Amino acid sequence: SLLFPVTHLWPCPAFPKALQIATETNCITEFLQESESQLRKVKQMEKQGLLYGVPISIKDSINCQGHDSTLGFIKQIHKPAAEDSVVVQVLKRQGAIPFVKTNVPQSLISYDCNNLIFGQTRNPLLFTRSPGGSSGGEGALIGGGGSILGLGTDLGGSLRFPAAFCGICAIKPTGNRLSCESLLWSLPVAAAVGPMAKDVESLALCMRALLCEDMFSLDSTVPPLPFNEEVQSLQGPRDLWGELQAENTSPMGGHLARAKCCFPDSPRGVGVLLAPLAPLQPASPSPAGVFHKTLLDFSRIRPDVACWLLPEKSQEPSWMPKESLSTPTPLTTSTFPPQDFRHQFIAQWNKLNLDVLLCPMLGPALGIGYPAKLSVAISYTMLYNVLDFPAGVVPVTLVTDEDEEQLKGYKGYYRDWWDRTLPKAFRGGVGMPVAVQCVALPWQEELCLRFMKEVETLSLKKNSFF
């Protein structure tokens, strides 16, 4: 937890733990030399700021003055940023001390972590596994204990994959809840910047620190919505869970709970999306194509939860061809308006009277190189980027010998190349973490964090999620 000053834990200038993890996993791209002088200044100051004295690691694509933001491209070397991004400026004003930048996959369009400048980053829990991406360097450094708080970005799961693969927590906020000014992207899609840490309390503290007047004055495009303390309280666990039933829905023991009741102070509840942790069929590279294939696969695999993603048959929208449920042909953006889909998704959410959604996260960590072969698995995370919903990841259990044994008989749903590749990517993952996603409606990050905390508390209390 970050709920106390930690300058005394930071043995400047060696940073032995970070150096050790960097040596083992190749997760750090650059040491921010100015952090040493910042640390000396902080020690001489009276305590101020919610992140006073907290060392924080920064993803390569987030601008830090005087340092490169390469995105893994050789042509971006020796092009230092002229100024800090807004989020880095706010962190410094809150007393945080950025001390390293971390590795990414080239272009950020991958959930592995490899580029021609810095090479392959490895998972700190098992070096033959990917740390996820594109915030893979952050995931590896924090998961290995070399950093207690990090800042990453999420284009289609880039915060959530590393968190899930490395056994840590992360939250992708609504796209413009935190400033994205001076952050580099490689695609014009709905992206977000967010924190990564070992526990949910640290995420909440970082969000609380960032959502301040400094953020709103430095970037006037950010809605002036301070952190809602009333909704999100982490002072102690609340008994929000009613009866729970376990249901194994994946080849690797990726259980999800069917929650009978939740949030007693609300007439609403928790939705549970049950779906196998298996890659979906290939989709169009456009967000619309990803959505369309996601809809088709979920409706085939689990008709009982298809209502989450498709309106009732009698209310099928005009852009959804009648043959779409039997013909897996991706729709184009011209026939699949994202905003229409977003409104229909929210309408269905409200119709079911829900607060939050619990849903799968791909896991455990894939072997190095396999993310490129199973790229369609971003369907598990990309959905909430295009919807622009806040979504967080919490580790809930570990892969067991029983899971590994069950994997031997895994055939998949289509028995195609992706189904045959999936077991190979997962094999040998005993002891690796498995995570779930927690999702809320736009601008409800505090509620998402509150739900994440309850999931975290339950998993720790039972020593596994179930």
Full residue range of the structural domain in which residue 373 is found: 244-461
Residues 205 and 259 in one domain: no
Contact present, 374 and 418 (Cβ < 8 Å): yes
Residues 199 and 282 in one domain: no
Whether 86 shows a pLDDT value over 90: the answer reads yes
Per the structure, how many domains does the chain have? Answer: 2
Question: What's the pLDDT score for residue 352?
Answer: 83
Mean pLDDT of the chain: 78
Final residue in a domain of this structure, among 183, 218, 253:
218
Residue 2 in domain: no
Catalytic residue among 110, 130, 134, 379: 134
Residue 43: pLDDT band by 50, 70, 90 thresholds? confident
Residue 351: pLDDT band by 50, 70, 90 thresholds? confident
% of the chain at pLDDT higher than 70: 71
Residue 225 in domain: no
Residue 233 in domain: no
Residues 32 and 173 in one domain: yes
Contact present, 437 and 163 (Cβ < 8 Å): no
Contact present, 353 and 268 (Cβ < 8 Å): yes
pLDDT tens-digit map of 95-112 = 999 999 999 999 998 999
Residues 206 and 274 in one domain: no
Residues 256 and 395 in one domain: yes
Whether 32 shows a pLDDT value over 60: the answer reads yes
Peptide bond into 134 cis (omega under 30): yes
Least confident residue range of 77-86, 119-128, 156-165, 369-378: 369-378
Residue 128 in domain: yes
Residue 133: pLDDT band by 50, 70, 90 thresholds? very high
β pairing state of 269-272 and 354-360: parallel
Residues 169 and 203 in one domain: yes
Question: What's the pLDDT score for residue 282?
Answer: 31
Final residue in a domain of this structure, among 200, 218, 236:
218
Residue 1 in domain: no
Contact present, 399 and 430 (Cβ < 8 Å): yes
| 228 against 328, higher pLDDT | 228
Whether 268 shows a pLDDT value over 50: the answer reads yes
Catalytic-residue membership of 92:
no
| 277 against 362, higher pLDDT | 362
Residues 58 and 189 in one domain: yes
pLDDT tens-digit map of 194-212 = 999 999 999 999 999 999 9
Order of all β-strands in the sheet with 97-102? 28-31, 97-102, 55-59, 149-154, 192-197, 169-172, 391-398, 433-440, 354-360, 269-272
Residue 233: pLDDT band by 50, 70, 90 thresholds? low
CATH code at position 119: 3.90.1300.10
Q: Which residues are CB-contacts of 86 (< 8 A; sequence separation ≥ 6)?
A: 179, 181, 182, 215, 218, 219
Residue 122: pLDDT band by 50, 70, 90 thresholds? very high
Question: What's the pLDDT score for residue 412?
Answer: 78
Catalytic-residue membership of 286:
no
pLDDT tens-digit map of 288-319 = 333 333 333 433 333 333 333 333 333 333 33
Residues 303 and 362 in one domain: yes
Final residue in a domain of this structure, among 172, 203, 218:
218
Mean pLDDT value of segment 348-367: 89
Residues 40 and 138 in one domain: yes
Residue 223 in domain: no
Question: What's the pLDDT score for residue 179?
Answer: 95
Whether 12 shows a pLDDT value over 60: the answer reads no
Residues 202 and 256 in one domain: no
Question: What's the pLDDT score for residue 190?
Answer: 63
Least confident residue range of 133-137, 214-218, 455-459: 455-459
Catalytic residue among 57, 135, 158, 202: 158
Catalytic-residue membership of 134:
yes
Assign 3-class secondary structure to the chain: CCCCCCHHHCCCCCCHHHHHHHHHHCCEEEECCHHHHHHHHHHHCCCCCCCCCCEEEEECCECCECCCCCCCCHHHCCCCECCCCHHHHHHHHCCCEEEEEECCCHHHCCCCCEECCCEECCECCECCECCCCCCHHHHHHHHCCCCCEEEEEECCCCCHHHHHHHCCEEEECCCCCCCCCCECCCCCCCCEEEEEECCHHHHHHHHHHHCCHHHHHHCCCCCCCCCCCCCCCCCCCCCCCCCEEEEECCCCCCEEEEECCCCCCCCCEEEECCCCCCCCCCCCCCHHHHHHHHHHHHHHHCHHHHHHCCCCHHHCCCCCCHHHHCCCCCCCCCCCCHHHHHHHHHHHHHHCCEEEEEEECCCCCCECCHHHHCHHHHHHHHHHHHCCCCEEEEEEEECCHHHHHHHCCCCCCCCCHHHHHHHHHHCCCCCCEEEEEEEECCCCHHHHHHHHHHHHHHHHHCCCCC
**pTM of the predicted structure, to 2 decimals:** 0.81
Task: Name the residue type at position 175.
Answer: G
State the Cα angle at 226 between 41 and 56, rounded to 5°: 35
Question: What's the pLDDT score for residue 314?
Answer: 31
Residues 250 and 132 in one domain: no
Whether 259 shows a pLDDT value over 60: the answer reads no
Residue 232 in domain: no
Question: What's the pLDDT score for residue 162?
Answer: 98
Query: Which of 393, 397, 383, 399 is CA-nearest to residue 459?
Result: 397
Residues 326 and 286 in one domain: yes
Contact present, 357 and 315 (Cβ < 8 Å): no
Catalytic residue among 59, 101, 198, 373: 59
Question: What's the pLDDT score for residue 395?
Answer: 95
Residue 361 in domain: yes
| 43 against 255, higher pLDDT | 43
Question: What's the pLDDT score for residue 419?
Answer: 84
